[in-house]
Structure 1
Amino acid sequence: MKVLILCTGNSCRSQMAHGFLQSFDKNITVCSAGTQASGKLNAGAVKAMAEVGIDISHHTSDPVEKYLGEEWDYVITVCGGANENCPMFIGKVNHRLHIGFDDPSHATGTPEFIESEFRRVRDEIKKGFQEFYITQIRKQELPSCSCGGTC
């Protein structure tokens, strides 16, 4: 199973989603990329994920072009705002999904408020990708019964 998570900068939301999905199942190949990859991770995202025991500090912010030649079971876009363009992936994809989230890197205010926004979005990403994992990936991996559904 191969999953590519896309956003614009590949520094925050896609990185958190990547970290969560990989933590749910080490057997899934998970990558993330951006149409305008920033080349670095957002420190707030790294900190928010560390708070829940997931280290994404070793991730890289990669351009989407790096993955165009590969075939993917799922490509998932995570941009959320109506004023933000979700990237389009033109490679080989079996399923395209959109699971949108606010961009906490755009939060303004006190340091405490900004941290709370990273935590809020982190928790929303966990919930959204847990649901995706259970309803899409685990569903495909569970053996089907031969009794007609009565077991």
Structure 2
Amino acid sequence: DQRVIQEKDIIILDWGCKYNGMCADMSRTVFVGDITEEERQVYEIVLKSQEEGEKAAVKGAYIPEVDKAARDVIKDAGYEKYFFTRLGHGIGYSVHEAPDIKKSNQRYLEEGMVFSIEPGIYIAGKFGMRIENIVAVTENGNEILNKASKEIKIIKNV
């Protein structure tokens, strides 16, 4: 369905590009007009989850533990049933490739792997939010490839 953006909408912007045959991907959530206290709290939960996932995603980490690090933030806040997607996906020559960052992928992260960390809370009929960065595993940890701010953005005067 198509419609005009309205006051109080919450928009997940998901975009990427290709450079020298390699894919990029990023998601940010923006608020139109204003933000409620509940929306602000849920956004902060998603942000903390995303950051914990990034911190855990280092060389040698067990992928289910990376998933757990991010997912536990949402679970502890009481929103577990609203985070029903994988935590992330590999990216490279294709936008979606191995390794999937999810509980059932029983692999360890290796230097050179590149993937998204993109937790979200999606409450049907109410709102959805996601924050996504791309992480590259390095010899000494990781590098976050996206540099865009993850601060709350409110678009006024639409």
Q: Shared fold by TM > 0.5?
A: no
Write 1 or 2 for the structure with the bigger share of helix.
1
Write 1 or 2 for the structure with the bigger share of strand.
2
Higher RCO structure (Cα 8 Å, ≥6 apart): 2
- State the TM-score, normalized to the length of structure 2: 0.28
- State the TM-score, normalized to the length of structure 1: 0.29
